[in-house]
Amino acid sequence: MDRRRWSLALDQGGSASRALVFDGEGREQACARVAVADRRPHPGWVEQDPDEVVDSLRQVAASALGQLDTAQRARVESCGLSCQRSSMVCWDRETGMALSPILSWQDTRAAQWLAAQALDPEAIRASTGLYPNAHFGLSKIRWCLDHFDAVRRAAADGRLAIGPLAAFLAFRLLEQRPCVVDPANASRTLLFDLASGAWHRGMLERFAIDPQWLPSVVRSDAAFGDLVLPLEGSPLRDERSKDQPSHRLPLRLLSGDQSTAAFAFGQPREDVVYLNVGTGAFAYRLAAQLPAGSRLLRSVIHWSDAPQYVAEGTVNGAGAALAWLAQQQGVDDVTAALEAEWPDPGDTVFLNGIGGLGSPHWQAQFPSRFIGAATAAQQRVAVAESIAFLVQRNLSLLREIGPPCTHVLVSGGLSHSDRFCQTVSDISGLPLHRPAQCEASARGSAFLLAGRPADWAALPEQRFEPRTNPALHARHRRWRDEMAVALGGLG
Q: How confident is the model at residue 455 (pLDDT cuts 50, 70, 90)?
A: confident
Q: Is the CB of residue 484 less than 8 Å from the CB of residue 349? A: no
- pLDDT of residue 239 exceeding 60: no
Confidence label for 237 from pLDDT (cuts 50, 70 and 90) = very low
- Whats the size of the chain, residue-wise? 491
Question: What does the pLDDT read at residue 3?
Answer: 58
> Please, which residues bridge with residue 166 across strands?
none
CA 172 to each of CA 53, 65, 341: distance values in angstroms, whole numbers, following the listed order: 11, 19, 45
Q: What is the CATH T-level fold of the domain 6-258, as seen in this structure?
A: Nucleotidyltransferase; domain 5 (3.30.420)
Question: Mind giving me the DSSP string for 20-86?
Answer: EEE-TTS-EEEEEEEE---B--STT--EE-HHHHHHHHHHHHHHHHHTS-HHHHHHEEEEEEEE-TT
Pseudo-torsion of CA 290, 106, 319, 188, nearest 10°? Answer: 30
pLDDT surpasses 90 at 230: no
421 pLDDT more than 60: yes
Give pLDDT, residue 491: 45
pTM across the whole model: 0.92
Q: Which amino acid is at 182?
A: D
pLDDT of residue 489: 66
**For the chain, domain boundaries:** 6-258, 265-437+460-489
Q: What is the mean pLDDT of residues 73-81?
A: 96
Residue 64 has pLDDT above 60, yes or no: yes
pLDDT tens column, 108-131: 999 999 999 999 999 999 999 999
Percent of the chain exceeding pLDDT 90 equals 86
Give the mean pLDDT of the chain: 93
Check: CB of residue 34 under 8 Å from CB of residue 484: no
Task: Decide whether 6-258 matches 265-437+460-489 in CATH topology.
Answer: yes
449 backbone dihedrals φ, ψ, rounded to 5°:
-65, -30
Tally: H helices and E strands in the chain: 16, 23
pLDDT of residue 336: 85
Strand partners, 162: 90
Kind and range of the H or E element at 6? strand 6-12
Domain topology for 265-437+460-489: Nucleotidyltransferase; domain 5 (3.30.420)
Confidence class of residue 235 from pLDDT cuts 50, 70 and 90? very low
